[in-house]
Amino acid sequence: MMLLSSATPVDTRESVTDPSPVVRAADVTKVYTRGSDPGRLGKLLGRPEAPRVHALKNASVSINPGEIVGLAGPSGSGKSTLLHLLAGLELPTEGTVTFQETDLETLSTRQRTRLRLEHVGIVFQHFHLVGSLSARANVALPLVELGVGKRKRRERATELLERVGLGDRVGHRPGELSGGEQQRVAIARALVTDPTLVIADEPTGELDTETGRRVLDEFERIAADRAVVLASHDQPTLAISDRIVRLKDGTIRGDGDA
């Protein structure tokens, strides 16, 4: 995989020529079971089955290269579940998710992990930073897994931290950073491998207006030749989307221009 340097020219959004989706969800349903299954004996003894929650129902969406798609809806509407399915973090109970024409269910757990490492950048709502590592080392972690040399890792991680306004925080550990700064470290880590698909759950939730704008500018920049999916309640975040998928009660209620 080629990693961008600061000298790499940035294509315009119109430069994308491949019309096939990066990732597509077709009639996906995701059901979670709360509690443990009573088992055959438990059922014979009349124990109730664990309640099942339909987090997503018959949802279909395609994400194309060069576009930013916003996911909108109230808490519990299915936004995070759809993000997890598109990123290959989970598999659907029903339906299919294909990433660049590969059905994710045909891959082993190890293969899906490798696919995410190489092609998907994920910004989690709760950051998942390693407390004992510096900001730069946290950003560089995916590159370690990919076997990138130490010097290149440091250069690339420093470049991304500078882009999100943390050039003076490269040596700080998460405990020495504010919530907004930790969020920007997580965003830089998601972008460090130059992924094909970027998934972000409330990426500006901890940021002030000025910093949030800088982060959104970065999402717009990297969407030149890759796909970006943002789940958010924040209108300025959704405003950078090319189209918005609206969810409610686990179903898609709309998919159209922002």
**What is the structure's pLDDT at 204?**
85
Q: State the burial class of residue 154 (Cβ atoms within 10 Å of its Cβ: 0-12, 13-18, 19+).
A: middle
CATH number of 18-257: 3.40.50.300
C-alpha 189/C-alpha 116 separation (Å) is 13
**What is the structure's pLDDT at 21?**
94
**What is the structure's pLDDT at 213?**
87
**What is the structure's pLDDT at 13?**
39
The pTM of the full predicted model, rounded to 2 decimals, is: 0.82
User: What is the layout of strands, in order, in the sheet containing 120-123?
Assistant: 120-123, 197-201, 227-231, 68-72, 243-248, 251-257
Helix (H) or strand (E) run with residue 60 in it: strand 52-63
What does each of the 258 residues of the chain score in pLDDT, given as a tens digit? 433 333 333 333 344 445 689 999 999 999 988 766 666 665 566 666 667 888 999 999 999 999 999 999 998 999 999 999 999 999 999 999 999 999 999 999 999 999 999 999 999 888 899 999 999 999 999 999 999 999 999 999 999 999 888 999 999 999 999 988 998 999 999 999 999 999 999 888 878 888 888 888 888 888 887 899 999 988 989 999 999 999 999 999 999 887
94 Cβ contact list (under 8 Å, min separation 6): 27, 28, 29
